Structure 1
Amino acid sequence: MASEGRKAVATGAAETAYAGKTVHLIGVGGSGMRALAQMLLERGAKVIGSDSMPSAVLDDLAARGASVFVGQRGENLPAKTDLVVHSAAIHEANPELVAARQRRCEVLKYSQMLGRLMADRCGIAVAGTHGKSTTTAMVAYALTVSGRSPSFIVGATVSQLGGPSGVGTGPHFVAEACEFDRSFLNLSPTFAAILNIEEDHLDCYEDLPAIVEAFRAFAAGIPPHGVLVANGEDREVAAATGGAACEVQTFGLRPECLWSAGSLSADRGRYCFDVLFGGRAFCRMSLKLAGLHQVYNSLAAGALLHQAGLSGQEIADALSRFEGAHRRMTVKGQEAGVTVLDDYAHHPTEIQATLRAIKDRYTPARIWCVFQPHQHSRTRFLLRDFARSFSAADKVIVPDIYFVRDSEREKEYISSNDLVAQIRLNGGDAVYLSDFGAIVEHLKRDLRPGDLAVTMGAGNVWEVADEIVRWLAGHR
């Protein structure tokens, strides 16, 4: 494609632009920031990073050559710092950010830095309330195994890609396009997808129309020679893409969508289907990932990959081998007749889709869902939706809300007890247990063969899954 050729010319300069530079990353433990750190290390930069808490992510970055600090202090900034990058979760009062501004360092948000990296390539960006990480990983994986050598940043670790990021020699740069703080408006993709649009991040958006307006601005940023792949069954997506200057290609299960699925069948939650392009057979897909939502993700990924030059057979072969991203229905262990999973779902729609997929895939006697709400503001704004989202779970355990980004005052408005009460009003069997230790003891006492336990949330609830697996392994 002509656009690919133009972008590829600048690739060599982009690869060396950060070699030998000192880049300080504030909030380096976040999913996107750690991927950025790895990419900068691969490009020869000297990476310094900090985060508020120790984690395996920081240990891994240190092993890769980054200098990592636990705790954020102004003195963490090196005397010679070429660039400071911070995540959207970092407040202006952060001591390292204050020090960087006082020293007149160049300061960028994560999304601005991502936009710089993408500008030198043929950008492929995946936007939407749900499914971004998996769909981005699908695209990056297919380009990689088909020999296109993309650069990519995924908001989750992908074992088949060797991590959350990679630097390739090909013309494509694949990245998630997150709507939080309108971050995705800093990107300049040639090809993009909008998977879906729902209420979320209401700590920075007034309401759903404001979210749609942000997606409309994102769609307007796709150049006329680009292509936007859009969910043809989502009315909010239709509202956001109606005025796009580029070609819009729809996907979905309905036959009127340009990209659709025919002859759909499922075996224990895993779907096989014909991918139809304009009503004609394009390829036959057999997914390893469970859940109907993965059919939508793979249709969007396939449409983007077609624009990137892959054949139908290349797309089908790659996506049929794709095993998913970390913390997406990840099997942590199967011991003593009990299956333990971990998942990142932290929005009502994601919870519903994941629990349905778990039920179809594993047909357990009982599903125990340990759900850690993420953000007090999200829990408060979407409380009723959350309460209705656990119908497929037999038992729900809710620890304290994971505190991030919100003000201290927000804690006064909502608690996990409020969510438990609402789940019970909707007919669910839910209990509040404040800390992980109490949850582990509860599960040890009540789990029995045939059960499945899944930890859910964007915080550190996976620690419960790990502890249960260790306990089960010692009681075989």
Structure 2
Amino acid sequence: SYIIGGVSKNLGSNAHAGQGSAFVIEADEYDRMFLGLNPRIAVVTMMEHDHPDCYPTPQEYRAAFVDFVHTLQPGGLLITNADDVQAASLAAELPAGCRVVTYGMNPDAGLRAIDVKRNSEGGFSFKLLNATNAAFTEVALTVPGEHNVRNALAALAVAQELKLDAAAAAEALGNFKGTGRRFDLRGEADGITIIDDYAHHPTEIRATLAAARSRYVDRRIWAVWQPHTYSRTQMLLSEFTRAFHDADFVIVTAIYAAREQDNGFTAAQVVAGMQPANARYIPALDDVRDTLLAELRPGDVLLVLSAGDADQISAQVLSALRSTEEHHG
């Protein structure tokens, strides 16, 4: 059984009630929701201050994760990312009787990826080392981005704890097609590739753009970003200005308020300090669409980064390009 935050392309759903004893939940720290769980295995992929409307300070944010670690069942297992200092620090907070397994590319990781390299599928391949430095399986991912190597390691650590066959787990990861709105290839038209992504935190944006740059090495990358909530955009202002280095062109829309009231802060203030300097502030989504249709050219890659309603841009641009293609064809 599972409940996850997006629709799995392999399973066709974000939830399923199965027959086995295992229940996989993608937990959410917003509003401290994850503190209602009582896991046998808890995976923390990274820990970086977010949701300032719930956690005004990094200290309060970390304290919630410490509380989460203490929801582990007696004898439970914490799996943390050894490449993320904050996530790895949770090992020191482990309740008595619980265990920890670390994963990553860090030489100290208990489960480690080595020989990480790009493959012909646009993803990364790697060999897996266990704590005794024995290479016991190889994995070839089709989903792009180095962050997905770490996500795969986390899944393999869970599989190992559940005594699942390592080769079967590696094969399943190789067949993983990804999740809706996570580097979601919407289509291609007129030589232009359009991708939709849910990224709305600076680290997510950097990882998504790095994945695009690794897959589309010599192509022009356009990033359209719809900031999500005034509090997050304002609090992480300087991080956002530095998150777009792998894009050739950046368009920033008006902030998507979600649950918040307008506080007068606008995304124009992010654009003013943004690197690269060819970023533009175009508040209205219709104007963004029209700008893209006027300026995109064959070979370009368009990434729409939004946890709000800007994913409509990818659908509209794709539709317009396809009708132009048919007209010319």
TM normalised by structure 2 equals 0.94
Q: Does 1:339 align with 2:193?
A: yes
Name the counterpart of 1:422: 273
Counting only pairs closer than 5 Å after superposition, residues 315-464 of structure 1 correspond to structure 2 as: 315-406=169-260, 408=261, 411-423=262-274, 426-464=275-313
Q: 8 Å contact 1:261–1:273 — kept in the other structure? A: yes
Q: Distance in 2 between matches of 1:172 and 1:446?
A: 49
Give how far 1:166 is off. 0.5
Q: Distance in 2 between matches of 1:364 and 1:464?
A: 24
Q: Does 1:217 align with 2:217?
A: no
Q: Distance in 2 between matches of 1:272 and 1:229?
A: 22
Q: 8 Å contact 2:244–2:276 — kept in the other structure? A: no
RMSD: 1.3
Q: Distance in 2 between matches of 1:186 and 1:266?
A: 39
- What runs of 5+ residues in structure 2 fail to find an aligned partner? none
Name the counterpart of 2:91: 241
Moved more, 369-378 or 216-225: 216-225
**Per-residue CA shift, 1:45-73, capped at 9, x if unaligned?**
xxxxxxxxxxxxxxxxxxxxxxxxxxxxx
Name the counterpart of 2:105: 253
The change in CA–CA distance for 1:427 and 1:264 in structure 2 (over 3 A counts) is closer
Q: Distance in 1 between matches of 2:115 and 2:271?
A: 41
Name the counterpart of 1:203: 53
Which of 246, 271, 274 lines up with 2:124 in the alignment?
271
Q: Distance in 2 between matches of 1:334 and 1:364?
A: 17
| Percent identity of paired positions between Structure 1 and Structure 2 | 36
Q: 8 Å contact 1:364–1:451 — kept in the other structure? A: no
Q: Distance in 2 between matches of 1:395 and 1:379?
A: 20
Q: Which residue identity lines up with residue 303 of structure 2 in the other structure?
A: V
Q: 8 Å contact 1:345–1:458 — kept in the other structure? A: yes
Q: Distance in 1 between matches of 2:220 and 2:102?
A: 38
Secondary structure at 1:445's aligned position in 2?
helix
Q: 8 Å contact 2:195–2:303 — kept in the other structure? A: yes
Moved >2 Å (runs of 4+): 238-241
1 or 2 for the larger relative contact order (CA 8 Å, sep ≥6)? Answer: 2
Give how far 1:210 is off. 1.4
Q: How many residues align?
A: 321
Give how far 1:199 is off. 1.2
**Structure with greater helix percent:** 1
Name the counterpart of 2:33: 183
Moved more, 214-223 or 284-293: 214-223
**Per-residue CA shift, 1:363-413, capped at 9, x if unaligned?**
25311111000001100000110010011111111111111122x2xx234
Secondary structure at 1:397's aligned position in 2?
strand
Report which of the two structures shows the higher radius of gyration computed on alpha carbons. Answer: 1
Q: 8 Å contact 1:364–1:452 — kept in the other structure? A: no
Q: Which residue identity lines up with residue 444 of structure 1 in the other structure?
A: L
**Per-residue CA shift, 1:297-323, capped at 9, x if unaligned?**
000111012222311111111001001
